[in-house]
Structure 1
């Protein structure tokens, strides 16, 4: 794995940190290749992915020095598009923990995540038309689903950059945290997901990503699979046993409570 993408491997998750301090974590070909390699691992061994950036920056955008020299054939290859689509399609949830700049390709990387959290210092948006190009790595089809058609249209046609507070108000970020608390907040989200049935989580992500025409057929098909799952039976049995135990405890407590004396007439 390239030094530009630092990985922390855990049993149920991977924390991937973009680390190109000299370019504010701009996304170049080396980083794209590293993200593809990471995706290959997570496709074979599904785990939660936390994406973040080093140095108080998520990703300042695509590497302009490389982007300037790319030609029509490079655009058709979809260099960033392909890897962002692959990240979005990972089996388990992807959490983007965003601080500082998330611009252009950096914003589109964040859009590919399932959950985005950030700080008040976030600056996120797509200024590509100011550089003579369009946001072609997912913004046109992901951003409307995230913030609605009207907001997405304004952002993409004006190049407007949102602050962390604005991104939260628009629903682009699901929560805001101080920079020193951001990593812990991402880990807590991962903890909550990891406590659930992995197959149910994967199927939930599949239904969320499915086009409207696929519903409700896809929901029912995946639910049918889960209804036959031993894990569903185990978890529901455990739930009912805990419920029965709590009921027995409450009954026992009532029996042992001292009876109040009747008031004297």
Structure 2
């Protein structure tokens, strides 16, 4: 995978790190960044790995969509769903995604973080949806993803009332898994990814698939997945290893 002019991409220990790299533009999401993120998705779909999306520890995750480009978009562009199509694709990636968010995540930047499976933030992180101030709506997922993440009442406070979600409130609401200092943000994100990689890759993928399935899919999807996994070789290997450790120590270890 190669980086473009809007992204810096590295890979280590089976985890892909994607850094939004338009610092002078406050990491505003423009057409070029959208195209490059689609390329990243193609790679992650072909060869699934966990991914971390971050703006680095410089006090800005993403300040939203590029307003200059947004101003020139017309009705056909809106119906094409330029950003929401990308964020839906990120949401549907086979392996988990982590947003490592330092500082402001506003507008499309916030919606990008909502599309990720988990969020780790810093004390100066702020989420917000200022789109109505610009005469538009939060049209890239916030009107339904934020509702699912924090509930309708809080989502309406943000979407309608212009409220912003600060770090402590994000943690209290469950929007973020942890708050760490900026210098430890990527360390914490990589630690989380590494902990997930200790699980069975196929079980992790299938768990994400089940969690993201619509309400009408349950419990049938769990039954079908479990039926497949119950006869998977890795299941027997992992359970045998667990039982051997238990027998060797005389106690249950996890």
Q: How many residues align?
A: 248
Report SS of the residue matched to 1:16.
strand
User: Is the 8 Å Cα contact of residues 128 and 159 (structure 1) preserved in structure 2?
Assistant: no
- Verify: 1:195 aligned to 2:198, yes or no: yes
| TM-superposition CA deviations, 1:132-177 (whole Å, max 9, x none) | 0000101111111100111112211112212111211222111100
Q: Which one of 31, 34, 42 corresponds to residue 32 of structure 1?
A: 34
Q: How does 1:10-25 map to 2 (within 5 A)?
A: 10-25=12-27
Q: Which one of 117, 121, 134 corresponds to residue 137 of structure 2?
A: 134
| TM-superposition CA deviations, 1:33-64 (whole Å, max 9, x none) | 00000000000000000000033211010000
Higher Rg of the two aligned structures: 1
In structure 1, C-alpha distance between the alignment counterparts of 2:78 and 2:26, rounded to whole Å: 23
Report SS of the residue matched to 2:61.
coil
- Verify: 1:160 aligned to 2:200, yes or no: no
Report SS of the residue matched to 1:58.
strand
Report SS of the residue matched to 1:15.
strand
What's the TM-score once normalised by structure 2's chain length?
Answer: 0.95
Pick which of 116-125 and 41-50 moved more. 116-125
Pairwise CA distance, 1:213: 1.2
Q: Which one of 214, 231, 237 corresponds to residue 217 of structure 2?
A: 214
Give 1:261's aligned residue: none
Q: Which one of 146, 149, 153 corresponds to residue 146 of structure 1?
A: 149
In structure 1, C-alpha distance between the alignment counterparts of 2:66 and 2:163, rounded to whole Å: 20
In structure 2, C-alpha distance between the alignment counterparts of 1:159 and 1:133, rounded to whole Å: 13
In structure 1, C-alpha distance between the alignment counterparts of 2:141 and 2:227, rounded to whole Å: 32
Give 2:127's aligned residue: 124
Large movers: runs of 4+ above 2 Å: none
Taking only aligned residues, the RMSD between alpha carbons, in angstroms, comes to 1.1
What's the TM-score once normalised by structure 1's chain length?
Answer: 0.91
Long gaps (5+) in structure 1? 249-265
In structure 2, C-alpha distance between the alignment counterparts of 1:60 and 1:80, rounded to whole Å: 14
Pairwise CA distance, 1:104: 0.2
Give 1:257's aligned residue: none
